[in-house]
């Protein structure tokens, strides 16, 4: 092999790399030692240290052209131990951004184009969206929550809620957990009719401009709907990207700061105030473990000063009783990623994502929990669908969302006939309003 000629990065990139302090890298390899990518078949020769080294040598094109930035789940175990405090996940996100958009793997870029154009990554039209809410809401009302409907574009709600598009698209039952909580807590909530999606795929494609657009939409909706608080949603891209975007917006224009509440804090509030009452005896006889999602714990702590480690554990303990809770080792800020972070649930690197999850499988085996409780949709899918396929016989656990567990543990607080009738009336008015809008050609 010919000796490597050293190159110099473009001045613009130099500035961005400089801002990320990439050159301060000591090459110590702490990042690599914590990264699941080394040892992943097909990923030989790639690790965070190598990527940073290539950047130092002015060979960013080589680093960006490799699968590394995509296979990286931006879990942040690398940054967690970097003695220089380099924000490596931001560096790899920057590498994703250097890739020509046509070369972004899988459906990510398509999803981004779609969300920019239609308001959601799956291009679900307004009519279908409203039908789904109406049908699934109707089901829930019939099953156990008489009077339930999904308030859309309700002015002056206490809580503005965004939805996960894959639930609206097909995983309908997953919508109901939160709805049951809102019903029983008698929440004054609403969802927007447009731009209702929680996810932020700009985060996955390394395009901060997209994240900013999506955050602005959420802010605009808060204002136009006159909502009191924004519920920061669950899924990794959603919660973290949303926060990032909101932070940038607030930096650009302080008047655009909105009151937001992370769903963990929301649940804790409602449990503390007694609006959600729990019966932990329903969950007795099984053991439960909390899986710290990278973007809810470690990465949130790194970028926003506080990781959510204790809040979900408090909710879990309230649901199942502390005596039924076990722990993974390591956990909290040093937890292993499920392997689906950074867009690796939808991305076409299945084998690599599953290999990443080998540490998670081993951790779960060792802690022998019957139920893994998660706070992120991508973690849920990875643990429930992908890992059992790749590690047959080793994934003997059930996966539950934390809010699912809350919904299942919650003691129902039935509505009065007056409440039910009032709600049904509001639902009729809402339907009429949207029917007129749709007929009018919107």
Which residues contribute to the site for other proteins (CB under 8 A)?
1, 3-6, 8, 21, 23-30, 32-35, 38-39, 44-47, 49-50, 53-54, 56-57, 77, 80-85, 329-330, 332-334
Q: Which is nearer to other proteins, 290 or 403 (CB)?
A: 290
Q: Rounded to the nearest whole angstrom, what is the least distance from the CB of residue 64 to other proteins in the complex?
A: 16
* Rounded Cα–Cα distance for residues 154 and 151 (Å): 6
Measured distance between the N- and C-terminal CA atoms of the chain, rounded to whole angstroms: 62
* Rounded Cα–Cα distance for residues 28 and 180 (Å): 50
Q: Rounded to the nearest whole angstrom, what is the least distance from the CB of residue 10 to other proteins in the complex?
A: 13
Q: Which is nearer to other proteins, 82 or 249 (CB)?
A: 82
Angle at 59 between CA 54 and CA 64, to 5 degrees: 85
- Asked if 407 contacts 180 with a C-beta cutoff of 8 angstroms, the reply is yes
Q: Which residue has the tokens 């808060």?
A: 222
Q: Which is nearer to other proteins, 38 or 146 (CB)?
A: 38
- Integer angstrom CA distances of residue 135 from 66, 153, 168, 192: 45, 17, 11, 17
Q: Rounded to the nearest whole angstrom, what is the least distance from the CB of residue 298 to other proteins in the complex?
A: 10
Q: Rounded to the nearest whole angstrom, what is the least distance from the CB of residue 196 to other proteins in the complex?
A: 38
Neighbour order of strands in the sheet with 189-190: 189-190, 159-160, 229-232, 260-262
Q: Rounded to the nearest whole angstrom, what is the least distance from the CB of residue 178 to other proteins in the complex?
A: 32
Q: Which is nearer to other proteins, 200 or 299 (CB)?
A: 299
Q: Rounded to the nearest whole angstrom, what is the least distance from the CB of residue 309 to other proteins in the complex?
A: 11
Q: Which is nearer to other proteins, 297 or 341 (CB)?
A: 297
* Rounded Cα–Cα distance for residues 289 and 370 (Å): 8
Structure tokens at 240: 């973290």
Sequence-distant (6+) residues with CB within 8 A of 26 are 83, 84
Structure tokens at 388: 């059992």
Neighbours of 170 (CB within 10 A): 11
Q: Which is nearer to other proteins, 28 or 272 (CB)?
A: 28
Q: What are phi and psi of 289, to 5 degrees?
A: -135, 145
Q: Which is nearer to other proteins, 83 or 348 (CB)?
A: 83
Q: Rounded to the nearest whole angstrom, what is the least distance from the CB of residue 331 to other proteins in the complex?
A: 9
């Amino acid at each position: 092999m010919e000796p490597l000629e050293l190159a110099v990065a473009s001045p613009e990139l130099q500035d961005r790399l400089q801002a990320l302090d990439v050159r301060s890298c000591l090459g110590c390899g702490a990042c690599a030692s914590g990264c699941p990518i080394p040892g992943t078949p097909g990923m030989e020769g790639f690790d965070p240290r190598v990527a940073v080294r290539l950047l130092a040598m002015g060979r960013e094109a080589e680093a960006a052209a490799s699968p590394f930035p995509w296979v990286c789940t931006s879990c942040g175990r690398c940054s967690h131990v970097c003695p220089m405090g380099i924000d490596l996940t931001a560096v790899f996100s920057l590498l994703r951004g250097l890739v020509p958009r046509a070369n972004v793997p899988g459906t990510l870029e398509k999803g981004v184009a779609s969300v920019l154009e239609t308001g959601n990554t799956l291009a679900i039209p307004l009519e279908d969206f409203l039908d789904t809410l109406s049908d699934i809401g109707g089901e829930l009302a019939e099953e156990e929550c008489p009077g339930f409907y999904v308030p859309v574009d309700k002015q002056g709600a206490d809580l503005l809620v965004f939805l996960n598009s894959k639930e609206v698209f097909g995983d309908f039952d997953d919508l109901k957990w939160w709805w049951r909580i809102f019903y029983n807590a008698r929440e004054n909530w609403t969802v927007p009719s447009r731009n209702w999606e929680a996810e932020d795929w700009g985060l996955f494609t390394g395009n901060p401009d997209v994240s900013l657009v999506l955050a602005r939409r959420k802010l605009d909706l808060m204002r136009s709907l006159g909502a009191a608080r924004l519920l920061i949603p669950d899924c990794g891209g959603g919660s973290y990207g949303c926060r990032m975007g909101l932070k940038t917006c607030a930096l650009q224009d302080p008047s655009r700061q909105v009151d937001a509440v992370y769903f963990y804090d929301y649940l804790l509030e409602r449990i503390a105030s007694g609006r959600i009452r729990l019966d932990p005896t329903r969950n007795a006889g099984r053991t439960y473990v909390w899986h710290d999602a990278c973007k809810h714990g470690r990465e949130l702590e790194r970028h926003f000063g506080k990781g959510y480690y204790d809040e979900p554990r408090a909710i879990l303990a309230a649901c199942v009783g502390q005596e039924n809770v076990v722990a993974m080792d390591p956990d909290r800020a040093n937890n292993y990623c499920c392997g689906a972070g950074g867009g690796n649930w939808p991305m076409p690197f299945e084998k690599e994502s599953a290999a990443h999850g080998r540490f998670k499988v081993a951790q779960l085996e060792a802690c022998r929990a019957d139920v893994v409780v998660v706070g992120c949709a991508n973690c849920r899918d990875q643990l429930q669908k992908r890992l059992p396929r790749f590690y047959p016989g080793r994934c003997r656990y059930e996966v539950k969302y934390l809010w699912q567990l809350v919904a299942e543990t919650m003691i129902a607080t039935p509505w009065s006939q007056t409440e039910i009738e009032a709600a049904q009336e509001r639902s009729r008015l809402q339907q009429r309003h949207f029917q007129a809008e749709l007929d009018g050609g919107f």
